[in-house]
Every structure is written in structure tokens, then in C-alpha cells.
Amino acid sequence: MPKHGKKYEAAEAKVGRELHTPLAAAELVKEVAFANFDETVEASIRLGVDTRRADQNVRGSISLPHGTGKSVRVAVFAEGDKAREAEEAGADIVGSDDLIQQIQNGEINFDAAIAIPPMMAKVGRIGRILGPRGLMPNPKLGTVTMDVAKMVNELKAGRVEYRADRYGIVHVPIGRVSFPANDLAENYGTLLTELLRVRPSAAKGRYVRSVTLSSSMGPGVRVDPLVVRNFTEA
């Protein structure tokens, strides 16, 4: 029994193993996409880090210039004026004790969460629920803040989190197959530039080991990891 269907195998054969510029890789991902829905395009970047060591963890968040094409439902833990500010900024769910109770009851109807600092003592009680889902507000990611309107707008516009997994690989959505290839390449370039900026000083040797772009259902297209500028050039 074949591991993949005929469409995937045909796409894989067309992709090959050679390295491409970011723009050429984005064009090829679009060309070989075969699903009957607008697939997400993901960048997978393998870094030369050992995430078992605290001084080599790579984690943060960044706003992509062209967003991700995904509608993001944002919840905000706030009260009073800050709750009204969040609502006016377009937050989907705003609450305090009531929102915490909903989450404890298993109602989690959002993709990202923000909290004002005074709420964190209460939000900490549901950390065991939100944490494993990647939904826990975090000051390092900018989601624990008094400037809730700014963060709501950034999350809605396409702010994404990045984190190197146990193998040192960062997986981040950079758009949809329907995006122009230039937009995908620019989003990728913004992500790679950020990862280079936050390179841990303890990381030794080659930092960016390998890069692939792929659609949800398609094969990975290899990107030349040495291209670190002029991302939209062929």
C-alpha cells in the first residue's frame, strides 16, 4: 500500500531535492498544491540549538507583513476600562471570573489569549488548561500587557508565535496557497530575520541548518538556508 496518494507522489516528483530561493520555493509550493481547499503554507526551519538547555531555547512572536490568512479568535482577560478597550479593538471574548469559569467548564472558543497583568493571579489557576494548548498569556510573547488594543490588533492582523521544538525545528504558518508568491516570500523573510536576530549566544556552529516550505497536504520544498536577504528575488 503506498504511503501517499498519486497526487502527492506526482507533486513530490516535481519538487525534487534541489535547493531553491525563497521566492522560487513559494512559487513551487503554489504550483504543486492539489487540495480542494486553500491550504496553509508552513515554514519549517531546523536550527542548530539544543532546546534541552535553557540558554538555547528559541521562542517569541512576530507580526508577519501579509498576515497568515487565518481568522484569529482572540480572548482577553480584563476588567473595567481595559475590558471596554479590548471590545472596541475587536476582541471576540472579553471577561474575568466569568471567562475563567467558562474555560474551567471546557468552553475554549478562541485561538489566542491576552491578559492584563492584574488578572494573571486569577488566570494562573487555569494555566494547566491553557498551557498545553499554547493559549496561556505570556509576558515574553507580549500577551500579558496593559496595551490590550495594540495586541488584539496585532493578533488579528497575523501575529504568530514561534518556538523551537525538541528537535530544534521551528514550524510557523506563513500564509495560504492563495497568497501571491511574493507575499509568502516576504513573510518567510520576516520570520527568518527574526530567528537570526534572537540566535542564542550559546548556539555553536551552523545556526540555520535546513529550511522547507510546504502546504498542508503537499510535500516539502527545500529552501537555500544561506539566503538571508533579498527574499523576493528569483
pLDDT in tens, 143-188: 999 999 999 999 998 888 899 999 999 999 999 999 999 999 999 9
- Going by C-alpha positions, the residue among 110, 212, 205 that lies closest to residue 169 is 212
Higher-scoring residue by pLDDT: 24, 134: 24
Residue 2 has pLDDT above 70, yes or no: no
Quickly state the pLDDT bin for 15 (edges 50, 70, 90): confident
Please say whether the beta carbons of 186 and 66 come within 8 A. Answer: yes
Q: Tell me how far apart the alpha carbons of residues 187 and 180 are, in angstroms, rounded to a whole number.
A: 11
Q: Tell me how far apart the alpha carbons of residues 192 and 198 are, in angstroms, rounded to a whole number.
A: 10
Q: How many CA atoms lie within 13 A of 190 on its CB side?
A: 23
CA 72, 78, 83, 86 torsion: positive or negative?
A: negative
Q: What is the pLDDT of residue 1?
A: 38
Q: What is the CA radius of gyration of the chain?
A: 19
Residue 204 has pLDDT above 80, yes or no: yes
Quickly state the pLDDT bin for 3 (edges 50, 70, 90): low
Q: Which three cell numbers stand for residue 166?
A: 525538541
- Single-letter code of the amino acid located at 18: E
The DSSP bridge pattern shows strands 93-95 and 74-77 to be parallel
Please say whether the beta carbons of 30 and 181 come within 8 A. Answer: yes
Mean pLDDT of 3-32: 89
Mean pLDDT of 25-50: 95
List, in sequence order, every residue forming a beta bridge with 114; answer none if it has no partner. Answer: 76
- pLDDT, the chain, mean: 93
Span 13-68+159-223 CATH architecture: 2-Layer Sandwich (3.30)
Quickly state the pLDDT bin for 78 (edges 50, 70, 90): very high
From-to residues of CATH 3.30.190.20 in the chain: 13-68+159-223
Higher-scoring residue by pLDDT: 100, 11: 100
Q: Which fold has domain 74-157?
A: Rossmann fold (3.40.50)
Q: Would you call 84 helix, strand, or coil by DSSP?
A: helix
Please say whether the beta carbons of 223 and 185 come within 8 A. Answer: no
Q: What is the pLDDT of residue 140?
A: 87
Residue 136 has pLDDT above 60, yes or no: yes
Q: Tell me how far apart the alpha carbons of residues 160 and 112 are, in angstroms, rounded to a whole number.
A: 10
Please say whether the beta carbons of 148 and 85 come within 8 A. Answer: yes
Please say whether the beta carbons of 40 and 215 come within 8 A. Answer: yes
Mean pLDDT of 75-85: 97
From-to residues of CATH 3.40.50.790 in the chain: 74-157
Residue with cell 503554507: 41
What lies within 8 Å, CB to CB, of 131 at 6+ separation is none
Query: What are the strands, taking DSSP E only, across the chain?
Result: 40-47, 59-63, 74-77, 93-95, 112-115, 159-163, 169-176, 208-215, 221-223
